[in-house]
Structure 1
Amino acid sequence: MFGFSARVERLSPWRRTAWGGALAVLCLAGLGVAATAGGLWALLLLPSGFFFLVACWMVAPWFHGLPDVWRRRGSGLTLVLYAMSVAGFILTVWRTAQTDAGAAAVLLAFLWPLHALYVAFEPTDFAWDRLRARLGRAVHLRVVMLWAGLAGVVWLANWAVQHSDKYRVLVLGATLTLTLAGVAASLKVYARFRKLCTALNRQTQSLLRSLEELEDAADDDRTKHRQSARRAWDTLHELVVTKADTGFSIAGVFVLPPAAVEELEQVVMTAVEADRGDEAVHRFAAQRLRAIQEACRGRIDAMA
């Protein structure tokens, strides 16, 4: 993989873009076949999705050179692609169910772990404008995919005993148990999300207050207020690199993408080190911090 990366980076820009575009078209064709053909063709979903991400990486330098309006539209297409992939997967489940309900149930359950790939489709460009929608998508899709997985497991269990009444009571009990577990897990995801939004809002407000006090502080007190602002940033940094929808390290969506976190740290530290009266620097830092508060609006629960 590293050898492939080095070879791609040695290509001229137009060759890299051309090969990446051709690979993307091929992958989209594979996704279309997997969605419409059904059966074993559904196995094309994973490799097609993976190599499409490789194609996106190949055309990234060309893409980042486009005007902002086209970059915004283009980056949003990844969400459309994800929606099409899920829709195609569900269509495959429906087509498979006509001939093999057991295989269809397995495919439906597979949607849950497959959702771990979603983070690769979530746009990282224009992170501040998309922050509120980014957090909402992460949490709601996590719960929807959880229920898709549970529905697949319940469907598979009922299919396995459809010709035998011996285990129907056990399957009914397992269905009720899984349903209650799904409700509990869904409530836990949303409670965790509200708790995170509350902490984000609270710590962002604390950092804003620290920056305001620093701006108004006398020269002799500015060192102390700078230290206070740095400590407030340290706590906020822990929150913005937390995943909004899950506590697992291998899946989930960060509150802010890494590039936006680095930008925010630079903006805040510049405001902390700025001289008295540099209102433009403080105003820009406050603008970024209030964007976080706006994303948390309506999602705060002090009792969570």
Structure 2
Amino acid sequence: MIVLGQTGWSILGLGLSVAGAIAASWLIRPWFEELPRKEQRRITAVPLIAYIAAGGLWVVCCLLLAPENRAHAGLLLFLVWGYHSLYGSGVEPSSSAYERLPGRLRRAAPLRVAVNWTGLAGVLLVLQSLREESNSPTVFLALMGTVTLACVGASIKVFIRVHRLSASLDQHAAKMILELRKLRELPDDKRREQKFAAEEAWDTLHRTLVNKIDTGLSVSGVFVLPSKTIRELHHQVHHAIRTAGTDDAAHRKVIARLRILRIACAGRTDTLA
């Protein structure tokens, strides 16, 4: 008989749990793939909803802790900002990327601003705790005011960024659609130059697609489209350019994808932002 200690049983239990989760996901995959796309989107959105709910609950608990220990509560609130900045985009569902784009554009700025203000609250609590124990409270008060004003400016910039990105995405998608239509309608002897124009339009659109919606950092922020989806669109666009629109199915598919990008940006474009 094999005798395991408490650590051994814990490791065994963890291994069995992981194996059970993998087996369960493998067994329910056929059922999941047979569901309508709308139901699939609902199920895959659960981690994002749980992440937002858990974050909100964490913030409430930290605020309840603040009267007893401001420094501790402040550090825990700042942890929310740090975690979201490093990993927050990881909970964004990558499936149904085009259908979920309007939601990402609508949600990215408010969520980023809420997280920034959560981090600010944490910093202010820590500074207030230090201010109470300091012989120069005025210095900490001025620092708190400076940090608050900086957060206000950063919050405004996040919303401006989303509007600018939406305007650019709409403009470049429209340009891509126009160039593909021109390429399809031109006679064979004039298509070579138009192909270069279409490729240039795609390069511009591609540079917009690889941006983050709510931040300029490559390691943090919500994607416009997942990398896999961008690669697929890249191959579809280049196939449409090479065939010069003669492949009707491919041409229609690319145009449909580009129109979805434009529809997602409707109401959020601001060329003067």
The answer to whether the Cα contact below 8 Å between 1:204 and 1:293 also exists between their aligned partners in 2 is yes
Flag the structure with more relative contact order, 1 or 2, with Cα contacts below 8 A and sequence separation at least 6: 2
Q: TM-score, normalised by structure 2?
A: 0.83
Which of 52, 55, 59 aligns to 1:86? It is 55
Q: How does 1:101-250 map to 2 (within 5 A)?
A: 101-116=70-85, 117-162=87-132, 166-250=135-219
Query: Are 2:240 and 1:296 equivalent residues in the alignment?
Result: no
- CA change 1:60–1:126 in 2 (3 A) is farther
* Aligned position for 1:67: 34
* C-alpha distance 266-16 of structure 1, shift in aligned 2 (>3 A): farther
Equivalent residues of 1:17, 1:62 under 8 A apart: no
Structure 1 counterpart SS, 2:45: helix
Decide whether the 8 Å contact of 2:162 with 2:214 is kept in 1: yes
Conservation of the 8 A alpha-carbon contact between 2:59 and 2:118: no
RMSD: 2.4
1:274–1:281 CA contact under 8 A, matched in 2: no
Q: With structure 1 as the length reference, what TM-score do the two structures score? A: 0.75
C-alpha contact (below 8 Å) 2:179/2:197 kept by paired residues: yes
Q: Is the 8 A contact 1:195 1:302 kept in 2?
A: yes
Take 1:245 and 1:267, find their aligned partners in 2: how far apart are those partners? 27
Note closer, same or farther for the CA distance 1:154–1:135 as it changes in structure 2 (3 Å cut): same
Is residue 191–residue 244 contact of structure 2 (8 Å, CA) maintained in 1? no
1:207-266 CA-partner distances (Å, limit 9, x unpaired): 111011011101111122122111111111111011111111221122110121122112
Shift of 1:172: 2.3
Q: Is residue 72–residue 126 contact of structure 1 (8 Å, CA) maintained in 2?
A: yes
In the alignment of these two chains, the number of paired residues is: 253
Measure, in 2, the Cα distance between the counterparts of 1:301 and 1:94: 37
Percent of residue pairs identical = 33
What letter corresponds to residue 20 of structure 2 in structure 1?
A
CA contact (8 A) 1:154 1:175 kept: yes
Question: Secondary structure of 1:66's match?
Answer: helix
Distance 1:130 1:272, change over 3 A: same
Task: Check conservation: 1:206, 1:232, Cα contact below 8 A.
Answer: yes
Distance in 2 (alpha carbons) for counterparts of 1:176 and 1:21: 54
Which residue of 17, 20, 24 corresponds with 1:18?
20
Structure 2 unaligned blocks of 5 or more: 1-16
